[in-house]
Structure 1
Amino acid sequence: MTYEVGTELPALSVRLKRDDLVRYAGASLDFNPIHWNEKTAKDVGLPDVIAHGMLTMAVASRIVAEWIGDPGAIVEYGCRFGRPVVVPNDDEGALVEVTAKVTKDFGDGTVKVNINAAFDGKSVLTGAFARVRIS
């Protein structure tokens, strides 16, 4: 693997549909109705059903895992949730577009990768980063 500070990782686009939310709810045991029930989501002020924040975070981490070739090489990962990913009830779903760039070499065989995940042209994660073992 060759890299240097400034290396941009190959972009990743992931489409989330309502059935993805149902599968994630089953795996995570997070059955909050804002992730599957339009009426409940709208009653609490959301525009529609939204993806689980942790699902969005997991989708964003894929850019690093695919680049490094080993998800176990991610030794630290963090972010804050900035805005929701609204998932319409249609065949298209919501498109999450992920970009990332190596921003720091710690000199110990790990690098910092800053990650941006966007939906509808707006960032959905704030301060997303991964520390990745390169060697």
Structure 2
Amino acid sequence: SLAEAFRGVKAHFLMQEFVREAKGSDLRAFVVGGKVVATMMRQAREGEFRSNLHRGGSALRVKLTREERATAIRAAATMGLGIAGVDLLRSDRGPLVLEVNSSPGLEGIEGASGIDVAGVIIDYIERCARRRSR
């Protein structure tokens, strides 16, 4: 198996389950200060299962379910992050956390969501700085 081959060369690796029902799409929830401030769905291009925008995927406007929002917020909090990009998959078992990004890019999300995410981040940082200076 592939895992045995990597073990044989003593390489570090991470294996992820393939979630067929996600159909080449994932959700990005941008969490700032414990709130989901912007969302998008990334859809893979034809013939590809990875939805990364730099691989030709597209960014679409999406509304998260209450469970998806709660999962994204919980994932960011679990990692101790005030700012995070949480990638989720829609599965038959409910939302699955694909990854939590501590330094998420803004590519696609501002256009897809119509939200000035950079401005929201700046406001959050300013609020945190004011609290610390008291």
TM-score by length of structure 1 reads: 0.26
Please identify the structure whose Cα radius of gyration is greater.
2
Higher RCO by CA contacts (8 Å cutoff, separation 6 or greater): 1
Relative to total residues, which structure has the larger helix share, 1 or 2? 2
TM-score by length of structure 2 reads: 0.26
